[in-house]
Amino acid sequence: MWVPIYIKHLFWAVMKTTQRVKSIHSLFDDYVNKHTTLAEFVEMYCRAMEKRAETEKQYDGHSETFIWKIACGLPCESFFQRYYTDVKFIDIQRECSRIMFLHCFQNAVTSDNVTEYTISDMVWCRNKETKKEYLTQCKRNYRVCFDMTSKLAECECSLFNYSSIICRHMIKLYDILGEEVPDRYILRRWRKVVLRKHTCVKVVYHDPSKTEHVVSYNEMQLAFEPNFSKGSVVKDTKQLVLEFLELLYIRMDEKRVMIETEI
């Protein structure tokens, strides 16, 4: 419990110290036990990974096909509903649904552009057995600073730093101020359209070679390969390749934004 307090100023992108171990254990629970031999383990490993790839494919397909229902009607809730995968949208929706318990007070203008607010919130606790959160009668204040120039906010609870989910205090503030949530808080990795790299890798348990994404990926990889070869051996051409790729990345992002705004 003490860990989030001491590392909350850092951005951890949802990674926890025990996450990897727990994830791996649960993945192999149904396939491996203490009597499993090495030969059996290899086969079971393939089966487990095949199952995992299939499940992820189903989740991604579900996120693209179905749209989770709006609960609060906040503008930012609609936005996240449209672009985030189901799993992450549920987290955002939990924050949106708790906005009704918040009260916002303006404290002071701390500099030319930054204004400090206090947001009063109710305390939520988690039931150890059911793992569900419940509302208590206790209150807690959070300090939120808002920069009028950059439109960025920083909340004392630091939920975004260690969960990569914008907190309800910041959502409340953006709503009160009539400002849109900046791109900085909308992570590309949680978008429905993002193609996870591992889905392009052909391994024994997962053959994605027939998908449209993978065909395109392979074509581009082949087309780029001569440039990488030349860039790595011809003097002073590496920087040229890297600059071109950087420019290309920006142009592709511009194209993506254009397509998304047309949807």
Interface residues with Zn ion (CB under 5 A)? Answer: 155, 157, 167, 169
Chain Cα centroid distance, residue 78: 17
Q: In whole angstroms, how close is the CB of 140 to Zn ion at the nearest point?
A: 10
Q: In whole angstroms, how close is the CB of 42 to Zn ion at the nearest point?
A: 47
> Which strands form 103-109's sheet, in the order they lie side by side?
103-109, 114-126, 133-147, 153-155
Q: List alpha helices for 34-158, DSSP H.
A: 38-65, 75-83, 86-97
Q: In whole angstroms, how close is the CB of 13 to Zn ion at the nearest point?
A: 17
Using DSSP's 3-state secondary structure scheme, residue 72 falls into coil
- Which two three-digit tokens encode residue 20? 């990897």
C-alpha closest to that of 43 among 28, 23, 61, 64 = 28
Nearer to Zn ion, 53 or 170 (CB): 170
Question: Rounded to whole angstroms, how far apart are CA atoms 102 and 175?
Answer: 12
Q: In this structure, are residues 12 and 161 in contact, taking their beta carbons and an 8 Å threshold?
A: yes
Nearer to Zn ion, 125 or 201 (CB): 125
Chain Cα centroid distance, residue 185: 10
Q: In whole angstroms, how close is the CB of 148 to Zn ion at the nearest point?
A: 19
Q: In this structure, are residues 234 and 226 in contact, taking their beta carbons and an 8 Å threshold?
A: no
Q: In whole angstroms, how close is the CB of 183 to Zn ion at the nearest point?
A: 19
Q: In whole angstroms, how close is the CB of 132 to Zn ion at the nearest point?
A: 21
Nearer to Zn ion, 46 or 104 (CB): 104
Q: In whole angstroms, how close is the CB of 153 to Zn ion at the nearest point?
A: 9
Q: In this structure, are residues 143 and 162 in contact, taking their beta carbons and an 8 Å threshold?
A: no
Nearer to Zn ion, 111 or 141 (CB): 141
Nearer to Zn ion, 10 or 252 (CB): 10
Determine how many CB atoms are found less than 10 A away from the CB of residue 92.
Answer: 23
Nearer to Zn ion, 44 or 145 (CB): 145
Nearer to Zn ion, 155 or 181 (CB): 155
